[in-house]
Structure 1
């Protein structure tokens, strides 16, 4: 099957010869048989089935496969802020299973109220209302419905290359071809801008690029009177694109000026990933709705939701969600324990320190290796962009995939985004020594790949 360019935008793919070669060289017959059975019964889709490997255990920062190999997991689907098999979270879940394993709709419980109160306490401004869902994609749906109800406007503006979930409404506002293509008509009124960094290829780096991006947004808002919301990732988590503070401060001003709600999708990045509990804290702004998920459930239970301005509590006559597991008692226990663990163990400060360490080490690595075109770091989220030429910024796609699989051989797992970005998402409990070990593996493999290429 031909691998199209859009297949490489969100993550590494499962169709390449590089993956097949790695599996044949490193997986046992027993593992290959399980993978074959998995492929037989599960529908195939890009980036997952057929799967890469069989995992039988996950603990701390490690995953372990059926053949007994352990990998530092710097991918984790962004759910493992507090590490795998976190005892504090598991104990809270076990207790809740004994007390109240399921909360029927129309009722509440003390644990749900405690979680909502904690979320309101953590968020700035008047973000004082909460609604929970079983997953991030459904939380995006809540935000979109609330924006329509509150504003009476049905149009949204988001960006190309963004990811907001896999349901039809979420891929409509999302901008990833691997999710949208060949899906036919999508949700009407979903308009898109180029991402802020895309203007750099035209206007170069710096404030002029950022200004042009938002100048175009203002142009659209002046002409489109039925835009109800702008939805964006405060940091593009897959390939780690980090807009400057000035970008989001002006974006907030434009939303206020034109009566548009600002929805920030923090599903993969909230709860300490960047050194603050929420990413928007770095920009000194208060969004109208924050969407949360992934790490919210402590790597144990699927949990997501929205935190909204108090004056947006205007939808009592309709059901925004009303999901069967909307106020899951077990999920609420997991989420509350996750937040408490982050606070009790001062993981926000740790993430900030490790972010400074990562930035220094990766900058030094870039100075030593021409194949590294850029590094981007915010807390314990980092992107290493590999290029064939720093001048043209052409993506080193084949080299990046080789780096990933050779790092896997040495016990390090991570995600590849946009075909050429090594995306590092270590658990917040990862120590500096463990980070150093991972960076040593990456640099050693990059040096090896570069040497092969140039000889």
Structure 2
């Protein structure tokens, strides 16, 4: 199946010729047999089956494959802030399994209340109410339902190229074609606007920090009286788009002006990824709803949820979630231990410090390699955008894929976003020495590919 280069996303790697060549050159016959069995039984889909490799262990910042290779994992599906097999989290889970392995709905337990109290203490302003779910996608659904209930309005506005989950309601507010294409009618009322950086990249106009997009949003809100919520990623994690503070402060003002709830999707970015516990702390605003997930469960247990403002505690007559594992006792133990580990080990401060290291090193790399068109860094989240020409900004799609497979050959895994963006998501426990080692691998691969 041929994929046009301008439509390439991270998910296309599992059907590309590069993948087959890499597997043939680097995987054993035993591993390929296991991959064939996996492919036989699981439904095929982009970004999943057919799979890349077989993993037998994950610990710290490393994966270990079936052939014994250790791989630095700067991908991790954004769940590994505290590293794989974190013993503090695992001990909390083991203890909870012995004490109360399952909490039936209609009941509570001290561990669930402790987690909710901790979240409320950490969140700014009057973000005082919590509801938990088994996954980030369902948490997005909670936020959408609560917004409808609170405002009496059913429309949402989100951005193109955003990702908010894979269920039908989540892909309706999401903006990635790999999830939406050929799905037929999606949820009505899910309107979209251009991301903050699109006027610069699409129209070639000067960088105004995304304010033209907010001018358009204001125009829409003046004419559409039934918009209940703006759903947006404060930092788009796939290709690391970082709006300026003024963007979100004006967005907050527009939501207040037109009676619209501001829902921030921090599923992949909360809990230290950007150097703050919550991403919106960078913008000095208080959203109406924050959606959390992924790293929330410490890379051990699937946990997600929402933190909402006190005034949104208005849904007692309906079931917003009612999930079987809504207040999972084991999940709450994992999440609470994750937050405690981040705090007790100074990982917020470490993330900020490593962000400086990343920024300095990637800036140096960009000055030496013309193929690097841009670098973007906040905390331990970084993007390296590869282009064929800095003037035309034509995406270096094939080159980026080659860099990725060269890096995997040399022991480093990361994701490729938007076809040409190397996205680095290191565990927060990554040392400076390990970070420099990974960046050495990347720079060597970029140098080799660009010289070809």
Does structure 1 residue 204 correspond to structure 2 residue 197? no
Structure 1 residue 5: Cα displacement: 4.8
| Aligned-partner SS, 1:407 | helix
Q: How many Å apart are 1:448 and its aligned residue?
A: 0.7
Residue 13 of structure 2 corresponds to which residue in structure 1? 13
CA RMSD in angstroms comes to 0.9
Q: Unaligned regions of 5+ residues in structure 1, if any? A: none
Query: After superposition, what is the alpha-carbon deviation per residue over 1:44-63, rounded to whole angstroms, capped at 9, x for unaligned?
Result: 00111000000000000000
The corresponding residue for 1:117 is 117
Total equivalences in the alignment: 451
Write out aligned runs for 1:136-285 (5 A). Answer: 136-201=136-201, 202=203, 204-207=205-208, 210-285=210-285
The match for 2:326 is 326
Q: SS in structure 2 opposite 1:94?
A: helix
Report the CA distance between 1:8 and its aligned residue. Answer: 2.4
Task: Return the offset for 1:206.
Answer: 2.7
Question: For the residues of structure 1 that align with 2:348 and 2:299, how far apart are their CA atoms?
Answer: 18
How many angstroms apart in 1 are the aligned matches of 2:206 and 2:269?
25
2:52 & 2:327 partners in 1: Cα distance? 34
Describe the superposition over 1:342-368 as per-residue Cα deviations: whole angstroms up to 9, x where unpaired: 000000000000001100000000000
Secondary structure in structure 2 of the residue aligned to 1:56: strand
Residue 53 of structure 2: aligned partner: 53
Return 5+ residue gaps in structure 2 as ranges.
none
- 1:81 corresponds in structure 2 to 81
Distance 1:10 1:32, change over 3 A: closer
Change (3 A) 1:13 1:7: farther
Partner of 1:345: 345
Distance 2:8 2:305 in 1: 28
Shift of 1:82: 0.0
Is 1:161–1:176's contact at 8 Å kept on the other side of the alignment?
A: yes
* In 1: Cα distance, 2:413 partner to 2:334 partner: 25
Instruction: Give the 3-state SS of the residue equivalent to 1:84 in structure 2.
Output: coil
Q: Deviations over 1:300-345 (max 9, x none)?
A: 0000000000110000000000100000000000000000000000
Residues of 1 paired with 2:435 and 2:414: CA distance? 13
Contact 2:5–2:397, Cα closer than 8 Å, also in 1: no
Q: CA deviation at 1:12?
A: 5.0
1:62 aligned residue: 62
Does residue 35 (structure 1) correspond to residue 50 (structure 2)? The answer is no
Return the offset for 1:4. Answer: 3.9
SS of the residue corresponding to residue 196 of structure 1 reads: coil
1:71 aligns to what SS in structure 2? strand
TM-score normalized by the length of structure 2: 0.99
Structure 1 residue 204: deviation in Å? 2.8
* Aligned 8 A contact 2:196 2:211 in 1: no
Structure 1 residues 264 and 243, CA gap change in structure 2 (3 angstroms): same
C-alpha contact 2:245 2:282 (8 A) present in aligned 1? yes
1:105, distance to aligned residue in structure 2 (A): 0.3
Distance 2:196 2:7 in 1: 22
Aligned residue in 2 for 1:404: 404
Structure 1 counterpart SS, 2:296: helix
Separation (CA, whole Å) in 2 of partners of 1:83 and 1:43:
29
Task: Tell me the equivalent position of 1:354.
Answer: 354
Correspondence for 1:286: 286
Q: Distance in 1 between matches of 2:104 and 2:417?
A: 40
8 Å Cα contact 1:10/1:178 also seen in 2: no
- Find the aligned partners of 1:178 and 1:189 in 2 and give their Cα distance: 21
Q: Structure 1 residues 203, 386: closer, same or farther in 2, change over 3 A? A: closer
Secondary structure of the residue aligned to 1:161 is: coil
TM-score of the pair, normalised by structure 1 = 0.98
Match in the other structure for 1:304: 304
Contact 2:163 2:176 in 1 (8 A): yes
Distance 1:60 1:205, change over 3 A: farther
Query: Using the alignment, how far apart are the partners of 1:250 and 1:10 within structure 2?
Result: 32
| Distance change >3 Å, CA 157–CA 275, structure 1 → 2 | same
Report the CA distance between 1:144 and its aligned residue: 0.1
Change (3 A) 1:124 1:317: same
Task: Give the 3-state SS of the residue equivalent to 1:331 in structure 2.
Answer: helix
